[in-house]
Chain A
Amino acid sequence: MNPLRNHKSYLAAIGHRVSGIALALFLPFHFLLLGSALDGAQGLDRFLVYTDLTPVKVAEWGLVMMLSVHLFFGIRVLFLEFTRWPGHVNDLAGWVVPCCIAALFVGTVFVIQVL
């Protein structure tokens, strides 16, 4: 791996960006789907039957993971850029692993709920 990219803060920035793009691609479909409920329950139900399919469940899990990765890395960036306190680590690299664990925790809760 390129030595300039082989560190936690870089991976966190890429994780935040990639999950953000994935969400930006997904959310219009999500809202379109929710919007279909405006014309009555039937419209939405037509789509909801697909949520019983395993590949759709896996995709949903992926989206929940993307959302939580984006959330936790986003919180890290906000702290990084908007706060200063004594001993503030330059790039909050120490937060990267806990952010990943928190995102995984959310993903696991989702799996338990779905199973």
Chain B
Amino acid sequence: MNKIKRETQELTVRVWRGKEDGKLVTYQVMSRENQTILDIITEIQRFQEPGLAYRFACRVGVCGSCAMTVNGRPRWTCRTHVKKVSHEGVLTIEPLRNLPRIKDLVCDLAPFIDTWQRAGAPFSGTKTRNDAPALVDPESSTRRAAEAGLQCINCAVCYSACDVVSWNRNYIGPAGLNRAWTLINDIRHSDRKQTFDQAFGDGGCGSCHSHGNCTRHCPIELNPSESIAGLKRVAFKGLPKDV
């Protein structure tokens, strides 16, 4: 009886400590109603392990900085409820996969951010501040295609979920290619062809195996897999026309 009571009140949380050669350390944390994974980590850091390193900022699913691997899957921890992911009261929390580890749950995101540049992502406009703003028809097919991928919060969850990234570090990965797709559909972008050439070049969209892990895990339900398929279609049909 005592044991059952204890299990319902406490969670066993195994947290990665150290760098690549670190290990999982187990903590007991009180189970509460409405508890997120980030709440658990914060409680451990405040009351048990002040040296625990982790990242977060907004706590409401906007900044994309709190992503970690929870029971084997990458997730945004501030919006992931414990009840949804714990297995019989046990949680294993590790840093994101496919990125160099700095300390505990913190990864170096530089290789991920670099992929945005490698995908030909910087926007370059053709107008100056003296010109009238460009008119973009919200109903046009290009705008709708861009709109579908625009809200990315840069959390690197998809990059961490993608097996092709883990096999081939040269692969740009889902978020960078998704960004390239939005630019190719942005009629204000001055060099859509150049963006496509980079997104299709070495380590580009041709390396995607269409596993769909990126789409399956994106916390805000973007569809990078579909954006990558769009890039592949450009190779056959040419740049999207504004219809």
Task: List chain A positions with a Cβ less than 8 A from chain B.
Answer: 2-5, 7, 9-10, 13, 17, 77, 80-82, 90-91, 93
Contacts and interface: CB of A to CB of B under 8 A. Distances in A.
B65 interface: no
Contacts of A17: 209
B81 to A, nearest CB: 17
A10 B211 CA distance: 5
B163 interface: yes
A4 B209 contact: no
A4 B215 contact: no
B225 interface: yes
B80 interface: no
B125 to A, nearest CB: 29
Interface string B230-243: 00110010000000
Which of B71, B212, B216, B225 has most A Cβ within 10 Å?
B212
Nearest to A10: B211
A77 B210 contact: yes
Given A77-B210, A81-B229, A81-B233, A5 B163 contact: yes
A91 B229 CA distance: 11
- Chain A interface helix/strand/loop/mixed: helix
A3 B73 contact: yes
A114 B58 CA distance: 66
Contacts of A81: 210, 229, 232-233
A90 B211 contact: no
Interface residues of B, number: 19
Contacts of A3: 71-73
A90 B161 contact: no
A4 B163 contact: yes
Given A13-B209, A81-B232, A91-B225, 11 more contacts: A3-B73, A4-B163, A4-B213, A77-B210, A81-B210, A81-B233, A90-B212, A90-B215, A90-B226, A91-B216, A93-B212
> Which 8 residue pairs across A and B have the least CB separation, nearest first?
A91-B212, A3-B72, A81-B229, A9-B212, A13-B209, A13-B211, A10-B211, A81-B232
B223 interface: yes
B144 to A, nearest CB: 12
11 contacts: A2-B72, A3-B71, A3-B72, A3-B73, A4-B161, A4-B213, A9-B210, A9-B211, A80-B210, A91-B210, A91-B215
A82 B233 contact: yes
B71 to A, nearest CB: 7
A69 B236 CA distance: 26
Interface string B115-146: 00000000000000000000000000000000
